[in-house]
Chain A
């Protein structure tokens, strides 16, 4: 206790130097906290987006993601209704949404272009929520009227290309699963923005039943399984694999390519930044400790003469450095806390990521885990830097140190 007090008093020796070091550490910690906080926010947003679209687990034909189909839904799941009914008996499963991937030609009578279609379940808007960005019109009807034309939701770019608006009639053409050509008339129910321009120019959504009619099949491409609790994911992955040996169970992470590439990129960028910051802290503390030791060589000699052990003197300097590191980190928590709050109060928008149309709010998570790691990292680095600096000052004998001018 006395030693800590003495270390604390020693920090007051050169207030300006101490303050400058503290600020530098605080800024470094703020840098670490806000960049990792931003990365965590981004990861979680993307994660949520991906999970809303595909659930936590995807059931498909074992080869579905592996090779191209020779005809539509060749690699589909046949008994999807039975599987769905079985799975929904489990209270931990909240939704099982089949979907169909297909493509073909879309025409407004004068112009024809290709589309990438997705047959979806009527419950999809419920699970996607805000991730389904309908910019005009409505989502697909919950109970489509068989007397009416099939409903379609077009990507923004595709709607422009077809000069279609809500209520416009269009025709979809595709080959059926046994190779015949088929067409259905559809009516535009809504216009959706996926955020990716290349996607918007081709994308459309119809009811699964419409897609199955067009393709003349009962198969679906995949079943997205939404669990009530994401912690159950790996548990259910195993269970489903056992239960449906003829199907492939894929965790969402394996299909979330955008999430994975962003995470990879950010992990690297912010990892390198963190290392740079810690090295900066190391140099700052080393410098401060080294100056402090040089100024106090005679005092080190005096304390030594009075019977202070070398280890106690080193410990004193390490204590000073860890206090400095610890206080700087606390100050950094404060600064990054203020920054985090400021970012929620003032809505700052990030520019759209490459290949995307929409920016997103700049938000930063305050992560307790990152905070603890930062504290640990800074304190360890402070002690290391100080130990390096102190070694020299304590190598002199007591008599030499006392003679030191």
Chain B
């Protein structure tokens, strides 16, 4: 069953007074628990598409549907509340809140949902254990390495069991080894709780984990491939793109 469906999405920005079209006719669908990767050259509109799907950017045309809700009709406040309830985010540069401890960072989405102190504590402990950072609960983000920080971010994104996670270049700030580790943890956790992942990346190491790869170019989804083991094919794709 499709969790998230985007149909004929278009988006343009004003640049120096005249509109430049970033997305012209992008469609995608993400099924429950699916791991979907968006691939494309820099400037092709991956972030824009992701931001629209993540409800932090509005679309100009087309529609966006999550389960049975038409999201492109929501007000700003409703979009905020929708993110609060249903979405998780992972960013390229981790974006942990520096004054909060690791545990508080992970607990933040639960705090927004008014979880009780006890439930919150238990859930945070559980998720931190899953990402292997139980011993770091009381540390501040500045005391963590890049890989550890991104694992905290993964924990923060998944802690409320959202139906979908939006991740824009989640491995771009990490070295190869930690990138793999982070993605494996993310995939394992997401799969376990049935959370879908929508990821923008140019990192080929992500492709083997993907259930589906969308190739974006100039705001159009040029090709959608269901990746059983499409390693060689993706090498070609990336060769074209970079």
Contacts from A to B (Cβ < 8 Å) = 2, 6, 9-10, 12-13, 298-299, 302-310, 397-399, 402
Contacts and interface: CB of A to CB of B under 8 A. Distances in A.
Nearest to B96: A302
B80 A402 contact: no
B57 interface: yes
A307 B80 contact: yes
A308 B51 CA distance: 16
A1 to B, nearest CB: 10
Nearest to A5: B104
B226 interface: no
Contact of A307 (B57, B83, B99): B83
A302 B51 contact: no
A398 B99 contact: no
A370 B135 CA distance: 50
B40 interface: no
Contact of B56 (A10, A12, A397): A397
B111 A299 contact: no
Contact of B97 (A302, A304, A398, A399): A302
Given A302-B95, A308-B112, A399 B85 contact: no
B126 interface: no
Given A10-B99, A299-B97, A397-B56, 7 more contacts: A302-B91, A303-B97, A306-B84, A307-B81, A307-B85, A398-B57, A402-B91
A287 B80 CA distance: 29
A398 B156 CA distance: 18
A372 to B, nearest CB: 31
28 contacts: A6-B100, A10-B99, A12-B99, A298-B95, A302-B89, A302-B95, A303-B108, A304-B56, A304-B80, A306-B84, A306-B89, A307-B80, A307-B82, A307-B83, A307-B84, A307-B87, A307-B109, A308-B80, A308-B112, A309-B80, A309-B81, A310-B76, A310-B77, A397-B57, A399-B51, A399-B56, A399-B57, A402-B56
A402 B56 CA distance: 10
A304 B108 CA distance: 12
A307 B111 CA distance: 11
Interface of B: 51, 54, 56-57, 76-77, 80-85, 87, 89, 91, 95, 97-100, 108-109, 111-112, 156
B99 to A, nearest CB: 4
Contacts of A12: 99
B83 A306 contact: yes
Contacts of A302: 89, 91, 95, 97
A302 B89 CA distance: 9
Nearest to B108: A306
A206 to B, nearest CB: 78
Closest 10 CB pairs of A and B: A307-B84, A398-B56, A9-B99, A302-B95, A307-B83, A399-B57, A305-B89, A399-B56, A399-B51, A309-B80
A338 to B, nearest CB: 32
B89 to A, nearest CB: 5
A12 B156 CA distance: 23
Contacts of A308: 80, 84, 112
A398 B51 CA distance: 9
B208 to A, nearest CB: 28
Contacts of B112: 306-308
Contacts of B85: 307
A95 B81 CA distance: 74
Contacts of B109: 306-307
Contacts of A397: 56-57
Contact of B100 (A9, A309, A398): A9
Contacts of A304: 56, 80
A55 to B, nearest CB: 63
A16 to B, nearest CB: 16
A13 B99 contact: yes
B84 A299 contact: no
A2 B56 contact: no
Nearest to B87: A307
A13 B84 contact: no
